[in-house]
Every structure is written in structure tokens, then in C-alpha cells.
Amino acid sequence: MATGFIGERSVRLLRVCSDRGWERCPGIIQFSKRSELLMPHVNRIGSGLNHHQAQSNQYMVKAGDTLARIARQHGVSTQQLLEANPQIRNPNLIHAGQMLNLPARVGGTQPARRGNALSGLTEATGNGRASDWDRFQNNPNQRLMRRGQRGPDIAALQGRLTELGYMTEAQRRTGPGIFGSLTERAVTRFQRDHGLTVDGVVGPQTRSSLGARQAAPAAAPPEAPANVENTEAVVPNRTLKWGNVGPDVAGLQKALVETGYMTAEEMNRGTGMFGRLTDRSVKAFQRAWNLSVDGVVGPQTQGALRRALAGETPPQPEVRTNRTQAAEGTTDTRAWLPVNAPRTNQVGNRSAANYNAVLDQFSVGNNPRYARRRGNTYCNIFVWDATRAMGAEIPHWVDQQGRPAEVGARGAWEMDANDTHRWLENQGRSQGWRKVSAAEAQRMANTGHPVVASWRNPGGIGHIAMVRPSAGEMQIAQAGARNFNEGSLRRGFGNAAGATEFFVND
């Protein structure tokens, strides 16, 4: 495979890729059959970036490598390696063939070499010192700075953001003078922290605030935790929400695992990173503890989490459940939207009595939400509602990979009963569901564990129902062609009762 020489357009692409992260630019980096990186030569005066020079500051991940091992091999800390590679979202997930930037060793430097394409850009745009910022911010003709631009003013902006703690030195060096994703992210963080319009554009107000002496530095990026096993359950001291990263996020995740609102497998998928799974687990916890369900771990959620770790159970509201009148908040006939039922049966507070009370509050026999209309029945909607109230949601909306999704999210779709059955078989285990025998299903329901009976109809849309605690013949609650709060399996499934399968949430 020959690389040859490339033109100025490719040089620009190379620089942009340096800012965005190499794995997002597969067309720039080519691999031979032996996975040897062949960096293109740069055909421009004063620049000759060949693959030998690139390799001096980069490392190709090999099978069996870990970030900790690579850091030790090159005399740097894992945190320094992470800071030099902001494209790494999960420090526990790197793959063979991936290229990593190597930071300077402690006590030494690795300056860009003369002739390097990036050093040429630095020479052309300035060194990005924070002292350069005054020269640009006081210029009345200063342009608006936004993503995609480049120049000495961008380098000065990056220097100021680095001085204030919104960019690391390693991040600044990945694209000096280029306003890319890292710079935009730093600008939006600064705007959010200082009560400015959060648009990622450096206009007069943002420029003035950046130059103000009272501009408060951001906290240094937290170090990512090493692994799940060594993480302790800790209630965070700061407010946490989607997008936060650090050991306190890992402590929060471990606390959610120990209190039953998150699985260890879910935590392993993004230890120390507050993403979709952590957000969903926090909301389930907030729902169980009758808190504002916003996914933000603030003072109230932190206090409830401390009580949960101490062994307290969620308070149960007084809900009158006489099976003839649905509880407040459970009657929305827009079936595609979720409801937040007042009574719950969460992990740590499960019992047969709570299980029955949760089902009774929906009064499925006469609740307008489940009433048959325009030929549609709502067995899967009732199961969605009931399992949400039990902290074991069987979703109605999923993404293209079958993962639970927000209502109406891009690419998300609604499942019918047959789809739900397939989801239980294929994705259910990742959410704590497993297939069991009828006898095991009844035993688990009698101890308060959520249990469903499901039939996949090869020629239709199938059926699904909630299994009730019962000392005798199995009883179910269901919506469908017939809605009832308690009845036999055969009453609900008819001739398909013998083909019904059972799933329990542990």
C-alpha cells in the first residue's frame, strides 16, 4: 500500500481530525493488512509529516492492552493519557488498532517538531498564550468566533480557556488555532457557568466575560475511575447530571447498584460516565422516592440516596385502591405517553402486598386509558405502566438496537405485544428479566417480584399480562380484548394459555 503525497485540502482535513479525534476520520488514517498505521506525507513547503514522526507521539493499541498498561509503558499517568485523548469516552473500552496520542513525560516535554503540520499551524496562528487574549478581546472589530474557524484569535481563545481550566493543555495542543468540538465544548461550559447564552459562539458578552478578572476557573477534569470492582458506593457532594464524568459519578453508579436501581452490567458499560443508563436509573430512584423526576442528582436526591444506602425503604403514599377507581395520574388516554403512578413496588421494598396494591391502583377493569377504542387494545401499555411503577420497566419505546428510548426520540419506535415478547427474549436479560417456569413465576410473584405472562402470536400481535401473587391457581391482571383486575390465565389467554411463557425481574 503506498501513501504518496496529498494536497492542501487533505492537510486541512488532517488538522481538523486532530481536533475531532482520529477515530472520527477513518478516511484520513489507512491501515495495511498488518494494521500498521501509514500516515500520509504532507506536500507543502516547510511541512513533512511522515509516519515515523507521527509514531513518536502516538501509540497503536494492541490486543490485551489497557490504558493503565500503556501509561506505565510510556512513563505517564492514566489521567495524563486520558487528557491527551479526549476522544475516549469509556476508559475501560479501547480496541486493537486504535491510535492514542502520547502526552509529554513528567518533567519533560515533547514539542511539535519543525516541519510538523500542526507545528506549522501554531507558528502561523500564535502560541495560544493566555496573554494573547487581551490583544484580541479589546479589539472593537473582533469577529464572532464559532466552530469551523481558525486563526491566531482562536489560538488566543484556547489559551484563555486553558488558563481558566475549561480546556486541558493536552486538549489545546490537539488543534491549536482550530475552533473544533473540544473548543466549542469548553466555550459552552464557560457560558453555562457564567449565566450567558449557551450557544458555543464567542460574541461580545462571552468575550467580555472571558476577559473579566472575576471569571471563576472551572474545576479540573476529574480522573476516571479504574474499574467497577474497586469503586465504593458514595453519595456525590456536587450536583450531577447527564454528561458529567468522574469518580463521583462512579460512586453514584455503585450506590444505585447497591440499592437495586442499576445493574453491575449497566455500570460496566460506562463506569464514571453519566449517560443514558445512569439517567434512567436515577429517574427510577427518584420515582420510587417520590422526588421530582428530572434525572438531576441534587440535594434532595442525594439525601434520599443516603437514606437508601442506610437501609431505609421508600415512603409509600396513601393510595386508596378499591379496584373500581383508578389512582390520580394513571388515566391519560394518550397511550403512547408514560404515566407516573403514585404507588410503587421498588427493589428493597417489594412484597406481595405492595405488588397487589400497585396493580390495584390502575383499576385496569374500568380505567379509560386501557379501554378498547378504534379497534385497538392496550395489553402492552398496562404492562408498561405496571412495570415502570415496580422499577423494572418493560419499555414501550425502544431504539433501533432494542434499548429503552425516550418517547418520540429520533429513530425510536413503539412495540406491540409480539415485539415486547421478542424484546424480553433478546434484550430482557440486560434489564434484569429472565424466562422461568410457571411454578417459578408464581413463587417469585408471591415474594413481590414483577412477573409477566406473554404469548407470541405467529399470526397476530400477541398478548401480555401481569401475574398476580396468589396462593392457589395463577391469577393475572390484564388489558386487552377483555380488561380485568384479577382472573385466571385461561380467561385472559384462552386456548393460548398452554403456550404462554413467563418472565420474572430479579
According to the model, what pLDDT value does residue 322 have?
55
Does residue 228 register a pLDDT over 70? no
**Residue-range domains of the chain with CATH:** 5-101 (3.10.350.10), 126-211 (1.10.101.10), 224-315 (1.10.101.10), 352-505 (3.90.1720.10)
According to the model, what pLDDT value does residue 316 have?
60
Which of the four pLDDT bands, split at 50, 70 and 90, describes residue 5?
very low
Which of the four pLDDT bands, split at 50, 70 and 90, describes residue 213?
very low
Q: Dihedral sign for Cα 505, 316, 403, 234, please.
A: negative
Strands 451-455 and 433-436 come out as unpaired
The mean pLDDT of 140-168, rounded to a whole number, is: 82
Which of the four pLDDT bands, split at 50, 70 and 90, describes residue 30?
very low
Closest CA to 167 of 140, 136, 130, 194: 130
By mean pLDDT, which of 146-150, 295-299, 348-352 is the weakest? Answer: 348-352
Q: Select the highest-mean-pLDDT range: 12-26, 139-153, 314-328, 442-456.
A: 442-456
At which residue does the C-alpha cell 408464581 appear?
442
pLDDT in tens, 392-440: 999 999 988 888 888 888 888 899 999 999 999 999 998 889 999 999 9
Does residue 321 register a pLDDT over 70? no
The mean pLDDT of 192-200, rounded to a whole number, is: 78
Cα dist from 197 to 153, 158, 162, 213, 270, whole Å:
21, 19, 21, 20, 30
At which residue does the C-alpha cell 501554531 appear?
122
The mean pLDDT of 324-351, rounded to a whole number, is: 85
Which of the four pLDDT bands, split at 50, 70 and 90, describes residue 132?
low
Does residue 52 register a pLDDT over 80? no
According to the model, what pLDDT value does residue 344 have?
81
By mean pLDDT, which of 288-292, 346-350, 428-432, 447-451 is the weakest? Answer: 346-350
The mean pLDDT of 90-100, rounded to a whole number, is: 76
Bigger pLDDT: 242 vs 13 = 242
